Amino acid sequence: QQEERIQALEKRIKDLEDRQQTFPEVKYLTYKDRKRILVTGGAGFVGSHLVDRLMLEGHEVIVADNFFTGRKRNIEHWIGHENFELVHHDIVTPLFLEVDQIYHLASPASPPHYMYNPVKTIKVNSIGTINMLGLARRVRARLLFSSTSEVYGDPEVHPQTESYFGNVNPFGPRSCYDESKRVAEAMCYAYAQQEGISIRIARIFNTYGPRMHMNDGRVVSNFVLQALQNEPITIYGNGQQTRSFQYVSDLVDGLIALMNSNYSKPMNLGNPDEYTIEQFATKIKDIIGSKATLEYKDALVDDPKQRRPDITLAKTWLNWSPKVTIAEGLNKTIEYFRNELLVHHHSERNLFFPKEWLHSSGIKTTIPKDHKEL
């Protein structure tokens, strides 16, 4: 009997040894053309799509992620590939590597996530960016910083050009993100001037697509999931605020083009296709053919009233403009979430909120009520 068990185990070991892991086919690059590229936040929504592209192009990619909002499953298809390395690392502590390029994407991006731990958000964008700039300086790598349309705050100039200085409240629930992204831009400028570091700054506008987390809390994932489940679609405020939505593959094209360009000042990357949030809710509802109703909730504090990128610079310098239409992009995203719902239960959104910080809308809109001195 023991003999049988040993034989069964031996067979199992052999089967495991024989199992060939298959990877998507990557391009072969010669030593001269192949770069070593670090992607911070590479297991996140945008990061993982960028990693896919860089891997397919034949580069060596190192992902550093602390998995606060990133997920291993976003990049698991590369684990074991000889060009790929995954480091579980929080960039608030320094990282020592040899690389040619750094795409510095690590940061929570969804408002509920970045407000969940505002101190950490400030740390990752300030100390984390200093650490990555320090790494770039040591190894003479080029660094692309993922900035945001939020540096324009609640903009009084529309559409937003890169020369607009913005209208940011330095003392509010969004300031941990907006101001830390702004100081990170200032750090990039200082390192470029003082240390001669080659930097690129992408001001990324609202981006959506597959691999957004079900509990992301941003408008696209919320509305799609609500519409798919015929739950009320939660509109914060009167729904007349506007956003312009870019599909993630367009952003990836833009990020790579910017990194490899000669342009070293901030550049907007976004799709100028602008909608009111109310229009957007109806659009998603119609595409899905959902019976969901629209439910109006409290407006968020300091929620920008309008947002649309002016992308003249990107068109001129990168010959880049978004290609994916909203219908195409939404269809792919809806398909993704439809499949996700088959596997996972869409539990409470904005899961990361401590209960006592929740308002009726299910999102923290201000400081806690019991915080008397404020």
**Are 145 and 182 contacting, i.e. CB atoms less than 8 angstroms apart?**
no
Q: Is 251 in the site for ligand UGA (CB under 6 A)?
A: no
- Collect all residues with Cβ–Cβ distance below 8 Å to 244 and sequence separation of at least 6: 205, 206, 270, 271, 272, 273, 274, 275, 307, 308, 309
Among 65, 150, 179, 302, binds ligand UGA (CB under 6 A): 150
Q: Are 236 and 278 in contact (CB under 8 A)?
A: no
> Could you tell me which of 302, 240, 246 has the C-alpha nearest to residue 276?
240
For the annotated catalytic residues, the residue numbers are 177
Q: Tell me the C-alpha to C-alpha distance, in Å, between residue 166 and each of 145, 163, 179, 304.
A: 18, 9, 11, 11
Q: Please check whether residue 29 is in contact with residue 82, taking contact to mean a CB–CB distance below 8 angstroms.
A: no
- What minimum distance in Å lies between the beta carbon of 9 and ligand UGA? 50
Q: Using the rule CB under 6 A, is 288 a contact of ligand UGA?
A: no
Tell me how far, at minimum, the Cβ of 233 lies from ligand UGA, in Å. Answer: 8
Identify which range of 8-16, 135-143, 182-190, 214-222 contacts ligand UGA by CB under 6 A. Answer: 214-222
Give the residue with the Cβ less far from ligand UGA, 60 or 150.
150
How far is Cα 354 from Cα 22, in angstroms, rounded to an integer?
41
Nearer to ligand UGA, 83 or 241 (CB): 241
Does the protein bind ligand UGA through residue 274 (CB under 6 A)? Answer: no
Which is nearer to ligand UGA, 37 or 105 (by Cβ)? 105
Considering only residues 66, 131, 222, 290, which one is a binding residue for ligand UGA as defined by CB under 6 A? 222
Under the binding rule (CB under 6 A), the answer on residue 219 touching ligand UGA is yes
Pairwise CA distance, residues 297 & 222, whole Å: 14
* Min CB(184)–ligand UGA separation in Å: 12
How many residues contact ligand UGA, by CB under 6 A? 20
Q: Stretches 37-45, 53-61, 231-239, 337-345: which one binds ligand UGA (CB under 6 A)?
A: 231-239
102 part of the interface to ligand UGA, by CB under 6 A: no
Nearest partner of 222 among 230, 214, 248, 283, judged by Cα: 214
Alpha carbons 255 and 162: distance in angstroms, whole number: 16
- Outline where DSSP puts E strands in the chain: 36-40, 60-65, 84-88, 101-104, 142-148, 199-204, 207-208, 233-236, 242-244, 246-247, 266-269, 274-276, 294-297
Q: Which of 69, 207, 249, 271 binds ligand UGA (CB under 6 A)?
A: 207
Q: Kindly identify the residues of this chain, within the stretch 109-148, that bind ligand UGA according to CB under 6 A.
A: 109, 111, 148
Distance CA 101, CA 141 (A): 5
Tell me how far apart the alpha carbons of residues 65 and 69 are, in angstroms, rounded to a whole number. 9
Among 206, 249, 271, 306, binds ligand UGA (CB under 6 A): 206
3-state secondary structure of 15: helix
CB of residue 357 to ligand UGA, shortest distance in Å: 17
Q: For residues 94 and 118, which CB has a smaller minimum distance to ligand UGA in the complex? A: 118
- Asked if 277 touches ligand UGA (CB under 6 A), the answer is yes
**268 residue type, one letter:** N
Residue range at the interface with ligand UGA (CB under 6 A); choices 31-39, 121-129, 162-170, 204-212? 204-212
HSE-up of residue 312 (Cα within 13 Å, Cβ side): 6
Contact between 285 and ligand UGA by CB under 6 A: the answer reads: no
Rounded to a whole number of angstroms, the minimum distance from the CB of residue 305 to ligand UGA is 8
Give the side-chain half-sphere CA count within 13 A for 215.
19
351 — phi, psi (to 5°)?
Answer: -50, -30
Least gap, CB of 348 to ligand UGA (angstroms): 13
Q: Does 235 bind ligand UGA (CB under 6 A)?
A: yes
Q: Mark the segment that binds ligand UGA (CB under 6 A) among 30-38, 67-75, 123-131, 230-238.
A: 230-238
Per the CB < 8 A criterion, the answer to whether 333 and 212 are in contact is yes
Nearest distance, CB of residue 372 and ligand UGA, angstroms? 27
Give the footprint of ligand UGA on this chain (CB under 6 A).
Answer: 109, 111, 148-150, 177, 204, 206-207, 218-219, 222, 234-236, 241, 243, 277, 300, 303
